[in-house]
Structure 1
Amino acid sequence: MSEFWIILAGMLVASSCALLGCFLILRKMAMVGDAISHAVLPGIVIAFLFTGDRHSLPMLLGAAAFGLITTILIESLRQTGVQADAAISVTFTSLFSLGIILISLFARQVDLDLDCVLYGEIIYVPWDTIIWNGIDWGPKAVWQVVGTLALNLCIILLFYKQLKISAFDPAMAAAVGIPVALFHYLLMGLVSVTTVASFESVGAILVVAMLIVPAAAAYLLTDRLSLMLLYSVLIGCLSSVTGYFLASFLDASVAGAMTVMAGLFFVLALFLSPRHGLITRWWQRLQLRQELTSSNDQQV
């Protein structure tokens, strides 16, 4: 049964992250998830200073708050003319450094860092369950991730058209009356909440990977956003299932194996994509060269 919960948690996280990752890829903001994973450290420290303990809920709330602050700061810098990658780098390095300073000033004697209070391990998912009225309702992490997946699905279904136009052509979206800034912050808020909520469940490495890799692979396979969303979820789920069995075979890290499988599927898409794959392009160039050679021979 523990095997089922681990795979299910991985699939839920992969699905939730992949849906948002598609929009991040289209907006050229793929590293936002990695930025949030570092920038939430001040929120963890501040939550500890206010509560005096290291329980998960206060830490998650503090981390989520600084995740939102991170996205707001990144967008503010972008609006002043700073390039997106520079804005992301400046924001997360500054906030991460602020967190280190706060720890050194106020929590020097406390075992307080990202690993011990936020970054989880997926193999521990089956053991932290919800018991209510004497009934075991399953792992807390699974319900937590189900909630974020449901939230992401509802927002995407309700505002699919607005999110799509804003991602592909923000200028046209603004021209037709779509509040581009509002939907940007809505998307970034979802990324922040999903990232932080998933960290405790499965660990940071898997979350950051599933935000980017399945969506990047799906981007190579199709030019339609609806199919890209579907393919990214399928790739993420397949990575979780195959990664678990790979980890079992090698007796290795489950999250690491899932991430490796996601990377393998991306490489396959990179080479075998029917339109953008390297092998496909090589074959098309070869066919064109043969046609040109044949045409020249006929003229001669």
Structure 2
Amino acid sequence: MDAFYIILTATLFAISCGLLGCFLILRKMAMVGDAISHAVLPGIVIAFLLTGTRDSFEMILGAALIGIFSTFLIEFFHHKARLQTDAAIGVTFTWLFALGVILISVFAGQVDLDQECVLYGEIAYVPIDLWIGDNGTIFGPRALYVAAMTLIVNVAFIRIGFKQLHLTTFDPAFAATIGVSVSLWNYLLMGAVSMTTVAAFDSVGAILVVALLVGPAAIAYLLTDRFQTMMIITVFVAIVSSALGYYLAVWVDGSIAGAIVTIIGILFGITFLFSPGHGVLMKKRLQRKEAQRLKTEAPLS
């Protein structure tokens, strides 16, 4: 049962991250997740200092607020200061992450706050972190409920705003001409990414969650040119990588989150080489076939 809880939690988080990652990759903003995962550190520290507790709710709330704030900063620097998106991301997450490091170093002698738990997480603790009611009833792993709620919210967000998200992703100029607010939907998407990142870092870590945002969607991007198909493939990759990653971690007695990301990396490498439309080896094979065909059809001199 412990294995089931771990795999299910990892799968739900991977699907949530992957679905949002499809939009990020097509918008060329894949590293926003990396920025948010670093930027939430000061929010976690400030929440601890204000509440005096390491309860996950307070830390998640503090991280969520800073994560959303970081998305607004990125958009502000991009549109108002006219910085390139990558430059705005770099300035924002390095500044906020440095602030978090300073806060930890200043208060390290007064508080017991392990930043490594925040950065790397440990999904193996999911079965023992239980949600217990007031009457002692055990409802199951707390992280499983967080993962399920995160997925429900993300699916509802994508379902309700699919038309606007689709338009602002593929043709923002046309979207603006028909009255769709490109900035608003960009903020909403970044807010969803921020909340998902914060919800997932307690289990998989703030660093490895970036791979869940980018990896499955990148694999799907190489396998299809249709957006709906890309999302379906992303879900399939998330499920497969979560299951295989868990059993790889058991086999090597290593980190489960690290093993899941390793599986995603292996799948991406295979796709990069053998993808029918974009694979390096498949392209070379098609080029050789085309060269042979032209050579065969060339008129005799």
TM-score range, shorter chain: over 0.9
User: Which residue among 150, 155, 165 is the counterpart of 2:157?
Assistant: 155
* Correspondence 1:29-68 to 2 at 5 A: 29-68=29-68
Q: Determine the C-alpha separation between the residues in 1 that align with 2:271 and 2:102.
A: 43
User: Which residue among 175, 178, 181 is the counterpart of 1:179?
Assistant: 181
Q: Determine the C-alpha separation between the residues in 1 that align with 2:56 and 2:24.
A: 28
The residue that corresponds to 1:222 in the other structure is 224
SS at match of 1:109: coil
- Cα gap change, 1:102 to 1:165, in 2 (>3 Å): same
User: Which residue among 198, 201, 213 is the counterpart of 2:200?
Assistant: 198
The letter for the 2-side match of 1:123 is: A
The residue that corresponds to 1:20 in the other structure is 20
SS at match of 2:148: helix
The residue that corresponds to 1:92 in the other structure is 93
Q: Determine the C-alpha separation between the residues in 1 that align with 2:49 and 2:249.
A: 38
The letter for the 2-side match of 1:62 is: G
How large is the Cα RMSD of the aligned pairs?
Answer: 1.6
Q: Determine the C-alpha separation between the residues in 2 that align with 1:119 and 1:65.
A: 20
Normalised by the size of structure 1, how large is the TM-score? Answer: 0.95
Q: Deviations over 1:111-139 (max 9, x none)?
A: 33532457530100000111224432110
Q: Determine the C-alpha separation between the residues in 1 that align with 2:288 and 2:275.
A: 17
The letter for the 2-side match of 1:135 is: T
Q: Is the 8 A contact 2:221 2:230 kept in 1?
A: yes
* Correspondence 1:1-300 to 2 at 5 A: 1-79=1-79, 80-106=81-107, 108-116=109-117, 119-132=120-133, 133-296=135-298, 298-300=299-301
Deviation at residue 147 of structure 1 after TM alignment: 0.5
Q: Determine the C-alpha separation between the residues in 1 that align with 2:117 and 2:123.
A: 14
Using the TM superposition, name which of 51-60 and 109-118 deviates more.
109-118
Q: Is the 8 A contact 1:120 1:204 kept in 2?
A: yes
The letter for the 2-side match of 1:70 is: S
- Cα gap change, 1:46 to 1:89, in 2 (>3 Å): same
The letter for the 1-side match of 2:140 is: G
Q: Deviations over 1:195-217 (max 9, x none)?
A: 00111123234311111000000
Q: Is the 8 A contact 2:118 2:201 kept in 1?
A: no
Q: Determine the C-alpha separation between the residues in 2 that align with 1:131 and 1:214.
A: 34
Normalised by the size of structure 2, how large is the TM-score? Answer: 0.95
- Cα gap change, 1:209 to 1:117, in 2 (>3 Å): closer
The letter for the 2-side match of 1:147 is: M
Q: Determine the C-alpha separation between the residues in 1 that align with 2:171 and 2:63.
A: 32
Q: Is the 8 A contact 1:60 1:118 kept in 2?
A: no
Structure 1: unaligned runs, 5 residues or longer: none
Deviation at residue 109 of structure 1 after TM alignment: 2.4
Q: Determine the C-alpha separation between the residues in 2 that align with 1:226 and 1:288.
A: 31
The letter for the 1-side match of 2:274 is: L
SS at match of 1:252: coil
The letter for the 2-side match of 1:60 is: I
Deviation at residue 287 of structure 1 after TM alignment: 1.6
Q: Determine the C-alpha separation between the residues in 1 that align with 2:249 and 2:48.
A: 35
Q: Is the 8 A contact 2:16 2:196 kept in 1?
A: yes
- Cα gap change, 1:118 to 1:295, in 2 (>3 Å): closer
Deviation at residue 15 of structure 1 after TM alignment: 0.5
Q: Determine the C-alpha separation between the residues in 1 that align with 2:45 and 2:115.
A: 10
Q: Determine the C-alpha separation between the residues in 1 that align with 2:102 and 2:228.
A: 44
Structure 2: unaligned runs, 5 residues or longer: none
Q: Is the 8 A contact 2:39 2:93 kept in 1?
A: yes
Using the TM superposition, name which of 91-100 and 101-110 deviates more.
101-110
Q: Determine the C-alpha separation between the residues in 1 that align with 2:106 and 2:252.
A: 43
